[in-house]
Amino acid sequence: MCISTSEAAFSGTVLYGGRRRHPEHGLVHVLGYQNTVANLADGPNAMLLHLPTRRLAPEQFVSVGRDGDVLRRTVDAVAAPPVEADGMAAMDWLGAESEPAVRVFEHDVYTVLLADDPTLIHTALHRVPWKRRPRIEPDLLAFYAEHFPDHAIALCCFDNADARQAKPLVVWYHPNDPDRLTVPALDSHTGGAPDLDARVAVDHWVLWSSDEAGDEWGTAVGYPERLRQRLRGFLPGRVVGRYYGGDQQDLINGDFAIEHRHLLADDLDRVERRGPVTRT
């Protein structure tokens, strides 16, 4: 489950979508994303994530520090049997260089490029270390420009040939639609634009939360006492979610989305697989 610029294997994906009223940033959505990735291409590779917000900066990627198991803890809350924490080490974030169109920084196995206009990503590829610098088909970037207007695009470049679990991405943003939570789940590993009519294999947990839900809603998530307050402010207290895989080996290509009112009603049957819109 992912869009990659060349052949790759992604497994064990955890997707989290949350809605929170943050004391500093106001009403925000939070994306949590983690998977195990192996590069099957002859050279560097990259995955693309699209977020429904008009602007995204490196500072909105929240460091998990030593708490690399925070997303696995949300799975623990709803899974049976529990999934063990991965015990990953600390990560470091680098500030963006001075370039307004595309921002570049490091995260774990990735060099990340953030772009408000995906067609400008090529202008910043020279800033990616050579061993992680992918070749990107222009048609793929044109697909994002056409189908995801007013979205921020994250290109996550990597080169590890062995399967390796990446540390979690935890990103907050001001959503285009505060009342619809969406997590990116389009799939294509060919380097070209995804086939929106295809059915694709799935193997991931999708978790949701809202700080407007009551104390009896969902399942409580347990965190260590040492968890830093800045990170804790973006994480869910209670979650609901489902595993997609097993008997559901394939689904129509698309993202996962749910309206906030259906989430508060704990009605996960209302989760949709949504394709992109076309710019008119």
pLDDT classification of 167: cutoffs 50, 70, 90 = confident
CA–CA dist 17, 29 (Å, integer): 7
- Give how far Cα 197 sits from Cα of 194, 253, 254, 276, Å: 9, 7, 9, 12
pTM for the model stands at 0.87
pLDDT tens-digit series, residues 42-69: 889 999 999 999 989 999 999 888 888 8
Residues 247-253, mean pLDDT to the nearest whole number? 80
How high is the mean pLDDT of the chain? 86
Between 175 and 89, residue with greater pLDDT: 175
Residues 10-24, mean pLDDT to the nearest whole number? 93
User: Is-contact 71 34, C-beta < 8 A?
Assistant: yes
pLDDT at residue 263 greater than cutoff 90: yes
pLDDT tens-digit series, residues 68-118: 889 989 999 988 543 333 333 223 333 333 444 899 998 877 899 999 999
To which residue do tokens 């704990």 refer? 266
Residues 146-155, mean pLDDT to the nearest whole number? 94
CA-closest candidate to residue 279, choices 151, 153, 87: 151
β strands within the chain, DSSP E: 3-4, 8-22, 26-39, 45-51, 102-107, 110-115, 152-158, 164-165, 169-173, 180-183, 199-201, 204-210, 219-220, 238-244, 250-252, 255-259, 272-274
Residues 185-208, mean pLDDT to the nearest whole number? 91
How much is the pLDDT for 162? Answer: 64
pLDDT more than 70, % of the chain: 88
User: Is-contact 22 157, C-beta < 8 A?
Assistant: no
Q: Where along the chain do its domains lie?
A: 3-274
How much is the pLDDT for 63? Answer: 85
Residues 234-263, mean pLDDT to the nearest whole number? 91
How much is the pLDDT for 98? Answer: 40
How much is the pLDDT for 245? Answer: 86
How much is the pLDDT for 248? Answer: 60
